[in-house]
Amino acid sequence: MDGDVICNTMKNFRSLIILFLLQLLVISLHAQEQPLDYLVTVQGDTTWGKFRKNLFQLVFLVGEEKIKIKVAEHKSYYVGRDSSLYRALPVPGRENKQWCFTLEDGRIRLYEFYVSQGTNNTGATLSTTSWYATKDDSLLLDVKTNSFWGSRKARKEALLQLLSDDPDMQKEFEQAENFSIKTIRALIKKYNQRAINRSKAAAKS
């Protein structure tokens, strides 16, 4: 009698495990069917779809419809496969808005702007990468570049200005061993988290 009970219990347990695994499979397949990419218009409307790279152009697909991404009509887009968020922003020195890759999001936002300048006579690709930061969606400030143009001192002062309401973060930046983009990104990430913590503390008081 006890053996039959144990046998039936094991069968029921196996059935539950199989049912659970089948449910997980259905959920996984359903999640894969959902589009992970989106495109936001300047009016704030969000369209979900899928990005595909067609030669040198990124194309947004909604079913069979192809939508061209334009800075005049769209303000941001998100590529789910690598969690990349791009925003159309007024980059200093550029007449029109440009697509900038979001490195850090928060009270201070850090963006990367890449420009390909073709190739030289040896076939090597010429390019420039610049990093800009903005606080509370104000104008972009140039904080780092890999080109030889501009003032390193002015970029440091711009970053100190962004950190001005957190003297501890300003001090940490002034004492940093280098001025690399890794250092800048880490400082901004830390600043943003401290800003969140201050807001939470203020809300509780």
More confident of the two residues 140 and 35: 140
pLDDT in tens, 57-102: 778 888 888 888 899 999 999 999 889 999 999 999 898 999 999 9
Single-letter amino acid, residue 48: W
* Span 32-67, pLDDT tens digits: 455 689 999 999 999 999 988 776 677 888 888 888
What secondary structure, in 3-state letters, does 168-179 show? HHHHHHHCCCCC
| Cα 69 from Cα 97, distance rounded (Å) | 13
Contact (CB, 8 A) for 101 and 114? yes
Does the pLDDT at position 3 exceed 80?
no
| Model pTM score | 0.78
Please provide residue 66's backbone torsions phi and psi, each rounded to the nearest 5 degrees: -105, 130
144, two tokens: 């780092």
d(CA 140, CA 175): 24
pLDDT higher than 50, residue 146: yes
